[in-house]
Amino acid sequence: MDVKAKVVQVTSIYRASSDPIPLVLDLLRLKRNNYVAECKGFKFELKAKCGEWYTIFENLIQEDYLKHGVSLSKGDIVLDIGANFGAFTALASAKVGQTGKVIAFEPDPLIHQRLNQNINFNGLGNVITFNEAVSGKDGEMSFFVHPKSAFSTLMDSVDQRGNSGATQIKVKSRSINSIISNIDGEISLLKIDCEGSEYSILESLDKDLSSRIKQISMEVHKVPNRKEEEISAMLRKLGFTVNDSFPLTAFRGEDGRA
């Protein structure tokens, strides 16, 4: 255990939550039962000992996907690929306001159900969700449901982590091109956290359609037979300026910012 990191995390949770104890107990692996967590005015139903406290920490407290020049304003449209139980979805919803829209995709049927519950729990009327995977093509795909929701994936192996303990199911898949084609207006932010599917998504993304995306903020994962630097190359080929940061960010334009 990195004691210094844990101290920073605990301190940050206390600053961001009006009821920090449940999150802190889960951080310390002392929380036994599922619980409701409050953070920055949002409430979420979380599973104990599944790392979901950290999803709250990185998405809501650190706001990882809104770093390195990424910004959102009222009225913006956000496309959230890999919404999980809705931590970033909720943050984006608040940033874009009622004149904006968040379109969220989550392929795991049980997590998608929790996503909708958390959206209703927080009264997020500007969010639309789809229980579908996003990939390079429309159809049906195998999906590995992991006990820890953040690890569920379309891939056989991600970040040198196999799928031991995962359950394989079939899920509906939508291509990134068909999704963008059905969105009216400019996409202010494309957020991607899809455990390895980012390669097929960007590889298949039509260049003309990609011109409607202003900003991208995404995680890049290690998957067999692919190199992480391929992602930056794909984005540059599509006309984005890329910051090789974490998360990786890309902007439409020449100055590295939207």
**The token pair that represents 221 in the structure block:** 């994962």
Q: Is residue 153 part of a domain?
A: yes
Instruction: Tell me, yes or no, whether 18 and 124 share the same domain.
Output: no
pLDDT band at 258 (very low <50, low <70, confident <90, very high): very low
pLDDT per residue over 126-171, tens digit each? 999 999 999 999 999 888 887 765 566 655 544 444 555 678 889 9
pLDDT band at 213 (very low <50, low <70, confident <90, very high): very high
Question: From the CA atom positions of the chain, what is the Rg in Å?
Answer: 18
- Alpha carbon separation from 121 to 8, 34, 50, 130, 139 (Å, rounded): 29, 16, 21, 18, 31
Q: Is residue 49 part of a domain?
A: yes
Dist. CA 67–CA 31, nearest whole Å: 30
Percentage of the residues of the chain whose pLDDT score is greater than 70:
90
Q: Is residue 257 part of a domain?
A: no
Instruction: Tell me, yes or no, whether 57 and 71 share the same domain.
Output: no
Average pLDDT for residues 231-257, to the nearest whole number?
88
* Number of structural domains in the chain: 2
Which residues in 151-162 are b (16+ Cβ under 10 Å) and which e?
bbbbbeebeeee
Dist. CA 127–CA 63, nearest whole Å: 18
Dist. CA 225–CA 205, nearest whole Å: 20
Instruction: Tell me, yes or no, whether 103 and 177 share the same domain.
Output: yes
Q: Which of 15, 41, 62 is where one domain is finished?
A: 62
Domain that holds residue 8: 1-62
Q: Is residue 172 part of a domain?
A: yes
Rounded to two decimals, the pTM is: 0.91
pLDDT per residue over 38-47, tens digit each? 999 999 999 9
Dist. CA 14–CA 48, nearest whole Å: 18
Under a CB-based contact definition with an 8 Å cutoff, are residues 156 and 131 in contact?
A: no
**The token pair that represents 157 in the structure block:** 């192996």
Average pLDDT for residues 3-25, to the nearest whole number?
97
Dist. CA 160–CA 141, nearest whole Å: 21
Instruction: Tell me, yes or no, whether 42 and 152 share the same domain.
Output: no
Q: Is residue 258 part of a domain?
A: no
